[in-house]
Chain A
Amino acid sequence: MAESFFELLQYRFFTNALLASVLTSINCGIIGTYIVSRRLVFISGGITHASFGGIGVGYFFGINPVLSATVFAVLSALGIEFLSKKADVREDSLIGIFWSFGMALGIIFIFLAPGYAPNLMGYLFGSLLTVSPADIWMMLALTVVVSLFFLLFYKVILFISFDQEYARTHRAPVQLVNYLLISLVAATIVLSIKVAGIILVISLLTIPQTIANLFTTKFGKIMLISVIIAFMGTFAGLMISYNYNIPSGASVIMSLIFAFIIAKLLSIIVNSLKVKTSYRNEPVETD
Chain B
Amino acid sequence: MGKIVELKNVSAGYTGEVILRDVNLVVNDHDFIGIIGPNGGGKTTLLRVVLGLIRPYKGSVTFFNGQESSHGNIIGYLPQINRIDTRFPISVTDVVLSGLMSKEGILGRYSGKQKKLALEMLEKMGVHNLRDKTVGKLSGGQLQRVYLCRAIISSPRLLMLDEPSTFVDTKFETDFYEILKELNDDMAIIVVSHDVGTITWYVKTIACVNRDLHYHPHSTITQEQLAAYNCPIQIITHGDVPHTVLKTHNH
Contact = CB atoms under 8 A, between A and B. Distances in A.
A159 B89 contact: no
Interface string B53-79: 100000000000000001011010101
B33 to A, nearest CB: 18
Nearest to B78: A166
A154 B106 CA distance: 8
Nearest to A287: B139
A170 B101 contact: yes
A37 B88 contact: yes
A165 B142 contact: no
29 contacts: A37-B89, A38-B88, A39-B85, A153-B106, A154-B109, A155-B101, A155-B106, A155-B109, A156-B101, A156-B106, A159-B94, A162-B84, A163-B84, A163-B98, A165-B79, A165-B83, A166-B77, A166-B79, A169-B52, A169-B75, A169-B77, A170-B73, A170-B102, A172-B101, A172-B102, A217-B137, A218-B90, A219-B94, A287-B142
A224 interface: no
B53 A165 contact: yes
B108 interface: yes
A163 B106 contact: no
A161 interface: yes
Nearest to B137: A217
Given A161-B88, A166-B98, A167-B101, 17 more contacts: A38-B88, A39-B85, A153-B107, A155-B106, A158-B98, A159-B94, A159-B101, A162-B88, A165-B83, A169-B51, A169-B52, A170-B101, A213-B89, A216-B89, A218-B90, A218-B134, A287-B141
B145 to A, nearest CB: 12
A162 B137 CA distance: 15
A165 to B, nearest CB: 6
B102 to A, nearest CB: 4
Interface string A36-62: 011100000000000000000000000
Contact of A217 (B52, B136, B150): B136
A40 B8 CA distance: 40
A282 interface: no
A202 interface: no
Nearest to A39: B85
A172 B106 contact: yes
The 6 closest A-B pairs by CB, nearest first: A156-B106, A217-B134, A170-B102, A170-B101, A159-B98, A169-B51
Interface string B106-147: 111110000000000000000000000010110101100000
A158 B88 CA distance: 10
Interface in A143-171: 152-156, 158-159, 161-163, 165-171
A162 B52 CA distance: 19
B107 A152 contact: yes
A218 B51 contact: no
A222 interface: yes
A208 to B, nearest CB: 14
A146 B162 CA distance: 36
A219 B106 contact: no
Nearest to A285: B129
A128 to B, nearest CB: 30
B233 interface: no
Contact of A158 (B52, B94, B134): B94
A168 B84 CA distance: 14
Contacts of B70: 171
A163 B90 CA distance: 11
Contact of A218 (B91, B95, B109, B141): B91
